[in-house]
Amino acid sequence: MKFIPGFEPDPSADGKSCLVFTEKERALVVNPSGNPVHDHRVLKDLLRTEQREDEIHLGTLEGKNLSAFSLKGREELPEGLEWTDFIAVYRDTGHTDQYPLSRGKQLLEWNRTHRFCGACGTETLLSDSENARRCPDCGELWFPVIAPAIITRITRGDEILLAHNANFPEGLYSHIAGFADPGESLEQTIRREVREEVGLEVENIRFFGSQSWPMPHSLMMGFTAECTDPLAQPVPDGVEIHDARWFTKDSLPSIPSTGSIAGRMLIDYIGKGE
């Protein structure tokens, strides 16, 4: 999908399409093929109802103006459409096509949670030239929140460290991840998170790639690192991490899908040396 972000509708665009969210952006409308992008005309009656809360222009998608709408609840939909959890749709969407979904969800969430100035309490106004809400009283600008987070693929020779987080489904394992604290560099975040969650020390930190992860507004930055102690064994913290082990390519547990950077990092690990 060719998506070009923008702040105002393009008058030369060939029509209008939309993403429709509800329940604080936790669900959205999809068609039988799982596609969440719809011709605006198909849902125009739904979007006129009193249940509609917000509309944010996102840019153009395949030559059409694209907007994200938010409804208060799961309204009845035209035949053939259904409500689906956002995270399921996002994970099943190809990496390059996730951009408008992530932008829509995060801008709606920001618009919903920044209606009033955090400094003086005055109702804020939406800027028409940038992603900002301005306070007309004290002049503060409130930009969308983006929370930096790291995810780290840790190897030791041919082995890879994978952990089961308390929030994961049964049997699923992935990399160590966590949010950056104020004042930290990303390298410091990696060393702290790995030490806190599994009691290991790592070195040779290298950048792998990044992914917007709008749950609700994270930017996930992937790294690789090495544990050089041949005898080191992970010690789960027992709070966030319930289990952590060294695995090989031939003994991998259930792993994340390639719709996440975690899955792509694992596929890259599996493909090395082949």
Contact 205, 187 (CB under 8 A): yes
**Lowest mean pLDDT across 4-8, 17-21, 255-259:** 255-259
Bridge-based pairing state of the strands 241-247 and 147-156: unpaired
Q: What is the pLDDT of residues 174-216, one digit of tens each?
A: 999 999 999 999 999 999 999 999 999 999 999 999 999 999 9
Q: What is the pLDDT of residues 103-115, one digit of tens each?
A: 999 999 999 999 9
> Which residue segments constitute the domains of the chain, with CATH numbers given?
3-113 (3.90.79), 115-144 (no CATH), 147-271 (3.90.79.10)
**201 CB-near residues (< 8 Å, 6+ apart):** 191, 194, 195, 227, 229, 232
Q: What is the pLDDT of residues 28-55, one digit of tens each?
A: 999 999 999 999 999 988 888 778 889 9
> What's the whole-number mean pLDDT along residues 253-272?
91
Q: What is the pLDDT of residues 151-171, one digit of tens each?
A: 999 999 999 999 999 999 999
3-state secondary structure 6-57: CCCCCCCCCCEEEEEEECCCCEEEECCCCCCCEEHHHHHHHHCCCCEEEEEE
